[in-house]
Amino acid sequence: MTPFHQYLKLHYHSRVKGEYLRRYAIVKKEYDDATEEEQENEAVKKPIPVQLRTEVATEFWLLETEEFRASIATIAKETYVKEVEEWEELKMVPKTAQQFHQWVFVLIC
């Protein structure tokens, strides 16, 4: 994950979600209240939830301090390294009965 996506994973519900829901409700109401002609002429654009969520989250991300963003980047990198190590371990297949039993022992310990 990028640091931004790690930030979303960790802080979306506590920091971003409320503001996103508020803005989405406003934009959706504007679109729903617009005439059919305004909608067709794209004077009022149909709200796209993912796009709006990303815009709001980006604003919050940019308001964070450099130190905070660096700490999130560190968490993202550590998470990536851990997941790659776990993936590599899963790819290792025991070839003998003894390796299998050692492998099982390592998994349960």
Per-residue model confidence as pLDDT tens digits over 75-109: 999 999 999 988 887 777 777 888 777 777 776 76
Helical packing angle, 66-91 and 3-11, nearest 10°:
100
Note the pLDDT of residue 63.
95
- pTM of the full structure: 0.71
Note the pLDDT of residue 106.
73
Note the pLDDT of residue 62.
96
Spatial distance between the Cα atoms of 87 and 92, rounded to a whole number of angstroms: 9
Spatial distance between the Cα atoms of 66 and 18, rounded to a whole number of angstroms: 23
